[in-house]
Amino acid sequence: MSHGPPYRFFDDYSEGAHPVILRHVADNNGGQQPGYGLDDACLLAADRIRARFATDGDVHFVSGSTQANLIGLSSMLAPYQGVVAPVTGHIAVHEAGAIEATGHKIIAIDAADSDGRLTPSLLDAALRTHEDEHTVMPKAVFLTQATELGTVYSKDEFTAVVRHAKECDLYVFVDGARLATALASERAGMDFSDLVRAGVDMFTVGGTKAGGMFGEAIVIVNAELKNNFRYHLKQRGALLAKGRFMGLQFERFFDNDDLWLRMGSLANENATYLAMAFESCGVELATPCDTNQVFVVLDDTIIEQLRETYGFYNWAPAGDGRSVVRLVCSWATQREAIDRLATDLAALTRSS
């Protein structure tokens, strides 16, 4: 086995920021600017995002993804309204009750059969059990593109579920913490403009996982949701005093060289490379590797040995002394680390 501290495949935020981002920030640090997101960099970044996503939506910047989700969703909902999400949706489990803390129920749907994707018929099932004032009123749908299982909605799947939600008078919120990997994914087959074309009401554009220091953009497409949004930001503590430091990052992400999308591509390519390493050792993928996350089924004894040298999470038991584990790649994952893992894995599988 190789040595040194375990190499982290835990997540896609274990590395720092892309040097190009840091340099752009440092180069444009000088001078006075209005605070709270009204500076030139935020304005330019918003323009570029609007242009790239083909929308006249409002664009706001917040520091993190949970913040974006809780502010975006709570801004759409009356107190008695809830949001439909897959059981595996990030808001449903891994945000410490952030949505409920704003007073809203998450109507969690088991979407295991569709690899973590919501479908029109799953929405219908949720609506049928929420019909009067004794239950919450479903009013929004929470989609993640890419999903928490590393899968993506294809353009058709995405369009179908968004359209159906709109027909059911539901707002559609898309958590795009990993949107760069989704738009770079072959299976998705989606262009930037396809989100707005499908009819989403609000979506986020993840900066952190795409090589930023921090920051997510919230894009409000639906005009009726634009009003007074800065009040929501301020009240939840999300209106950063020196907003320029988010604006500068996104201004650079969406400059002509498409840095943001390229970061998504890189992450996906690294994951594909990793998935192939597993497959070449005869290891089965638990879900298709559409983006930058790899879910594989391994013997628990092999997991234990790999863990000495590589960091990753156990996802779920798979029976017979095996488990599903998750490994995540990013734009910064080192191919050498993947190669080492492949070598180690091959040795372990031979000997077992």
CB-CB neighbours of 78 under 10 Å: 10
Q: Which is nearer to its own copies, 193 or 313 (CB)?
A: 313
**Shortest separation between residue 70's beta carbon and its own copies, angstroms:** 5
Q: Which is nearer to its own copies, 23 or 47 (CB)?
A: 23
**Shortest separation between residue 220's beta carbon and its own copies, angstroms:** 15
**Shortest separation between residue 125's beta carbon and its own copies, angstroms:** 11
Q: Which is nearer to its own copies, 101 or 347 (CB)?
A: 101
Within 198-227, the residues that bind its own copies by CB under 8 A are 208-209, 213-214
What are residue 294's DSSP bridge partners?
A: 327
Measure Cα distances from 146 to 136, 192, 300 in Å: 28, 14, 28
- 268 touches 184 (CB < 8 A): yes
**Shortest separation between residue 233's beta carbon and its own copies, angstroms:** 7
- Among the listed residues 135, 193, 301, 314, the single contact to its own copies using CB under 8 A: 135
Within 226-245, the residues that bind its own copies by CB under 8 A are 228, 230-242, 244-245
Q: Is 160 helix (H, G, I), strand (E, B) or coil?
A: helix
Angle at 194 between CA 189 and CA 195, to 5 degrees: 115
The piece of 97-105, 163-171, 178-186, 343-351 that touches its own copies (CB under 8 A) is: 97-105
The piece of 65-73, 153-161, 217-225, 344-352 that touches its own copies (CB under 8 A) is: 65-73
Using the rule CB under 8 A, is 80 a contact of its own copies?
yes
Site string for its own copies, 151-180 (x = CB under 8 A): ------------------------------
46 φ/ψ angles, rounded to the nearest 5 degrees: -65, -45
- Among the listed residues 1, 47, 103, 347, the single contact to its own copies using CB under 8 A: 103
Alpha-carbon torsion (41, 43, 45, 48), positive or negative: negative
- Among the listed residues 45, 59, 108, 123, the single contact to its own copies using CB under 8 A: 108
- What's the CA gap between 74 and 166, in Å, rounded? 18
Greatest CA separation for the chain: 64
Within 8-37, the residues that bind its own copies by CB under 8 A are 8, 10-11, 13-17, 19, 22-23, 25-26, 28-35
- 105 touches 73 (CB < 8 A): no
In angstroms, the first-to-last Cα distance of the chain is 15
Q: Which residue has the tokens 């294809």?
A: 154
Q: Which two tokens stand for residue 180?
A: 């760069």
**Shortest separation between residue 114's beta carbon and its own copies, angstroms:** 19
**Shortest separation between residue 279's beta carbon and its own copies, angstroms:** 25
Closest to 309 measured CA to CA, from 344, 271, 273, 274? 344
Using the rule CB under 8 A, is 102 a contact of its own copies?
yes
Using the rule CB under 8 A, is 74 a contact of its own copies?
yes
What strand order describes the sheet that includes 322-328? 284-285, 293-299, 322-328, 313-319
Using the rule CB under 8 A, is 78 a contact of its own copies?
yes
